[in-house]
C-alpha cells in the first residue's frame, strides 16, 4: 500500500503541470512554459525542498524521482538581517549544472530580477557585487530588503541556465513569497528551447491562458467524483 501511495503521489505531482510551447517574438525563439496553477505549488521549507525537472516540469522530493536536469529550491533561515531570512538552491553537475543569476551584493545569490530582464550568454560567470553574473554553485535567495533580494508578499522573477545534451539553455521562473520566507510557491518557469538563445523574464500565464494561445499543451489532475 505504501508503494502504491508513493506511485500515486509521484503521478499526481507530475500531472500538476501544464506544459506548452509558443513562439513569442523575434527576441525569443520557441519557449516551453510550465505552470502550476493559479496558486502555484508549495516548496517545503525543509532539507529536501522540491525538485523541478527542467525538461518536463515534473516535481518530487528527490532528484531520482524527477530525473535531470533539475533545479531544487529548499531549506530556509528565519534569522533577522544580516543573517537571514533566506532560501537555498541546490545544484550539481549531475543535475544539469543549474546556475542562478545574481545581481545582488552577496556571493552566489539567486536574485529577484524583476520583469524584462534578459537572461543569456551576455551574463558573465563572475563580476562585481551589484552587477549581473551567474553563480558558481547553487545559491541563496535573501529577503532582507537589499537590492536583488526576494520580496515577501510578492512574485519574484529569477533567471538561470543549465546544461542539456552538452549545450547551455537559459530560462527563468516565478516564485511567489508569502508573509514569511517559509511561505513560497513556484508559480511556473519557462525555458528557451534553442540552445544558447536568450530569454526575457515575463509573467507566466495560467494554464487556461496557455491553452488559449493555441499551442500544444498537457494538463493532468485528479478526477472529481460527481
How large is the average pLDDT for residues 98-113? 92
Q: What is the DSSP letter of 137?
A: S
**Nearest alpha carbon to residue 213 among 75, 24, 36:** 24
Backbone phi, then psi, for 110, in 5-degree steps?
-95, 110
pLDDT above 80 for 2 = no
Q: What is the pTM of this model?
A: 0.81
20 to 3, 128, 190: CA distances (angstroms): 31, 37, 10
Tens of pLDDT, residue by residue over 56-71, are 999 999 999 999 899 9
Q: What is the DSSP letter of 22?
A: E
Amino acid at each position: 500500500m505504501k508503494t502504491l501511495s508513493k506511485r500515486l503521489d509521484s503521478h499526481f505531482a507530475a500531472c500538476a503541470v501544464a506544459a506548452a510551447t509558443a513562439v513569442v517574438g523575434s527576441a525569443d525563439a520557441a519557449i516551453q512554459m510550465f505552470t502550476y496553477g493559479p496558486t502555484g505549488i508549495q516548496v517545503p521549507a525543509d532539507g529536501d525542498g522540491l525538485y523541478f525537472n527542467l525538461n518536463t516540469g515534473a516535481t518530487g522530493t528527490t532528484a531520482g524521482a524527477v530525473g535531470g536536469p533539475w533545479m531544487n529550491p529548499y531549506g530556509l533561515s528565519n534569522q533577522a538581517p544580516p543573517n537571514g531570512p533566506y532560501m537555498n538552491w541546490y545544484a550539481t553537475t549531475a543535475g544539469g549544472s543549474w546556475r542562478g543569476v545574481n545581481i545582488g551584493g552577496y556571493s552566489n545569490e539567486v536574485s529577484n530580477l524583476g520583469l524584462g530582464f534578459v537572461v543569456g550568454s551576455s551574463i558573465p560567470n563572475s563580476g562585481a557585487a551589484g552587477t549581473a553574473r551567474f553563480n558558481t554553485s547553487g545559491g541563496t535567495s535573501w529577503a532582507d530588503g537589499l537590492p536583488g533580494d526576494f520580496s515577501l508578499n510578492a512574485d519574484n522573477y529569477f533567471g538561470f541556465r543549465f546544461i542539456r545534451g552538452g549545450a547551455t539553455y537559459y530560462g527563468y521562473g516565478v516564485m511567489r513569497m508569502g508573509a514569511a520566507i517559509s511561505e513560497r510557491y513556484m508559480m511556473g518557469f519557462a525555458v528557451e528551447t534553442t540552445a544558447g538563445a536568450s530569454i526575457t523574464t515575463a509573467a507566466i500565464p495560467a494554464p487556461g491562458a496557455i491553452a488559449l494561445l493555441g499551442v500544444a499543451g498537457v494538463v493532468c489532475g485528479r478526477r472529481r467524483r460527481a
